[in-house]
Each structure stands twice: as structure tokens, then as C-alpha cells.
Amino acid sequence: MKSKPWFWIILGALALFVLAACARPISQGGSAPDTNNPSPVTSRPAAIQPAPGLPVPTQVPPTQVVAAQAQPATLQPTAAADLSKEADDLSNLLNGLSKDLDSTDTLNDVK
């Protein structure tokens, strides 16, 4: 063994090189950056915060009734259909207004 000091020198240098290479990603918080798959923490966009005073938009179910409860009819069929059309018209107006309000630019970013 003592007759081959350069063997141990090269082996030691290789070991140091490997140790230093391993220490780099650990000291920088993980593996080397992958440009194709960026870290989810750094690539995630910031959540949009509602401006002070504005509530979180609420999804409102449409006023069209999916399944009416089983109740005894209170109107004759023709009268019920007549009222139903009026109620549909009102419902459509409200739905349209609600959509317009939701899509309005409310200037949340004005400082």
C-alpha cells in the first residue's frame, strides 16, 4: 500500500469531487433546476385577492327549478303555464344581469 501513494491521492480527489457535487443540490434546497418542469412552488401564480370591500363572488344556481317538489297543483294548467312564462322572463332577466355584473371589470388593481 505504501508503495502506491498516487493511487490514494487520485482516489481521495475523486471522493472529494463526488462529495462536493452531492453537497451542491442539498445546500440549494433540492435537485438541479429542471427548466421543462419548474418547481410547483415557484411557478404557481399568486392567488387573486378580492379588493378590500368586495366579497368573494358567489356562484348562484340558476333559478330554473330542476325538480319541483311533489305538491298539489294550485292553478289550472293554462294559468300555471301563463305564470310560468312570466316567471321565466323574470328569471332570464335576473340571470343576464347577474352575468353582466360578474363579468364587469371592478378595478381591483387600482392603487
Partner 1 sequence: MKNITRITICILLALSTLPLMAFTSLPSPQAASLAAPTRTPRAGQQIDQEIVFAFQREQNWLELEQIHITQAGQVISKGQALLDKAQSKGVDVADLSAALAAFTTEAANARTTHDQAAAILNARNGFDANGNVVDRQAAHQTVLDALTPLRQTHLTLAKAVLDLRTALQTWRLSHNQK
d(CA 19, CA 25): 11
Is residue 23 part of the contact set for partner 1 (CB under 8 A)?
yes
What DSSP line would sit under 89-108, residue for residue? HHHHHHHHHHHHHHTS---T
List the one residue out of 102, 95, 98 whose CA is nearest residue 64.
Answer: 95
Spacing of C-alpha 24 from chain mean position: 33
CB of 47 to partner 1, least distance (A): 18
Is residue 3 part of the contact set for partner 1 (CB under 8 A)?
no
Near partner 1 by CB under 8 A: residue from 1, 3, 4, 20: 20
Applying CB under 8 A, which residues contact partner 1?
A: 5, 9, 12-13, 16-17, 20-21, 23-24, 27-29, 32-33, 38-39, 42, 51, 53-55, 58, 60-61, 63, 65, 68-69, 71-75, 79-80, 82-84, 86-87, 89-91, 93-98, 100-101, 104-107, 110
